[in-house]
Amino acid sequence: MTRRTDIAALRDDFPLLTGGGNLVYLDSAATTQKPNAVLDAIRNYYVRDNANVHRAAHALADRATTAFENARRAVQAFVNAQHAHEIIWTRGTTESINLVAQSYGATTLRAGDEILISVLEHHSNIVPWQLVAAKTGATLRAIDIDDRGDLDLDDFHRQLSARTKIVAIGHVSNALGTINPIKEIVEAAHAAGAIVVVDGAQAAAHLPIDVRDLDCDFYALSGHKMFGPTGIGVLYGKEALLDAMPPWQAGGEMIETVTLEKTTFNRLPYKFEAGTPNIADAIGLGAAIEYLHGIDGAALRAYEANVVAMARARLGQMEGVRIIGNARVSTAVVSFAIDGAHPHDVGTLLDQQSVAVRAGHHCAMPLMQRLGIPGTVRASFCLYNSAADVERLVAGIDKVRQLL
């Protein structure tokens, strides 16, 4: 198929950004905007096919089920999973990680075992492991970073041991944009007898994902960070691990038979999908993947890299502006601080100029503590951003500096 290479033209696909006004949206690491293809898919489901899936014997249900399962197969292809039943629908990355922590972690970890995370992690890849460690008696340990914001791989290898049972690591840091060397981490963890859980929330919109090449055991992502709807996400898990794990939630769809004395559980993936699923938004996520599939990946990554490099260069030249994080390999995040200004004040003043950024600790408080700062201003870029957006950000920062 012919894929789109004119990345700058993609902005026209996003009605919130083209509906008038002068908004510069630089908060895609929090949530991406949605293209018409996704909005149309959700509307079409509710207008033409609204019915529950897998249950009723009528045409609406048949069409809804087909679209729902086609979306699952789209995710399978997107992450290159071996089987569609290795794709579990969740509400997002947070729920996916909690599912692994409570189903796999809580039933396999013992006192003396260790869970290894990093100080780069989002709270959603810290707190679930704290809870399961408290429940099981396991110990939670964290890999340090260097001054550039890269994972300290020497520290990783020092801490990895036969006691390590789970390594939970982000593919991309939401606060610094650091891309972690997942394949190297997986290889070392498996050699030590540990399984690896990857938080892929920040990677999905920017990097190709191949779970079989990575050989990770679990991979979690969120639809709303890759141009899909909120409230839908995915847990990929290796079939053997998912088969061995007990259900996490109970109710309709995840059962095979029920008597008052005993319940037997449905096959994968339905064992982990209790209740009526988020049908419309799964279909919307399938449409988002189709949308991404229609874009030339190399052209997209080159375009984003150029915009981010321009932002880093322009901000790096500004007096009193300090870029936080300079990882050797990173993606579309530029975090910075302005001397003498609190990040929240900067964010508010930029918002008054219609420049939307994120300000604060970015749900990464241990990282901010490690860096010795209260937080940063984060400009996160995506395929619909441009050099003009960078110039608006720079002009906005100039005005902030004058005001403060």
Active-site residue list: 363
Interacting residues of 249 by C-beta distance below 8 A, sequence separation 6+: 272, 274, 275
Task: State the Cα–Cα distance between residues 372 and 247, nearest whole angstrom.
Answer: 41
**Both tokens assigned to 221:** 């992502």
Task: State the Cα–Cα distance between residues 362 and 381, nearest whole angstrom.
Answer: 15
Task: State the Cα–Cα distance between residues 209 and 207, nearest whole angstrom.
Answer: 6
**Both tokens assigned to 292:** 């991404």
- Asked if 212 and 80 touch (Cβ cutoff 8 Å), the reply is yes
**Both tokens assigned to 178:** 């650091």
Task: State the Cα–Cα distance between residues 117 and 166, nearest whole angstrom.
Answer: 9
Q: DSSP labels for 243-293? A: HHSPPSS-STTSEEEE-SS-EEEPPTTGGG--SS--HHHHHHHHHHHHHHH
**Both tokens assigned to 156:** 């990783």
- Residue 118 pairs in a beta bridge with 143
* Residue that has been written with the tokens 């996003």 in this structure: 14
Task: State the Cα–Cα distance between residues 340 and 333, nearest whole angstrom.
Answer: 22
Task: State the Cα–Cα distance between residues 303 and 344, nearest whole angstrom.
Answer: 29
**Both tokens assigned to 288:** 């988002």
Task: State the Cα–Cα distance between residues 148 and 162, nearest whole angstrom.
Answer: 29
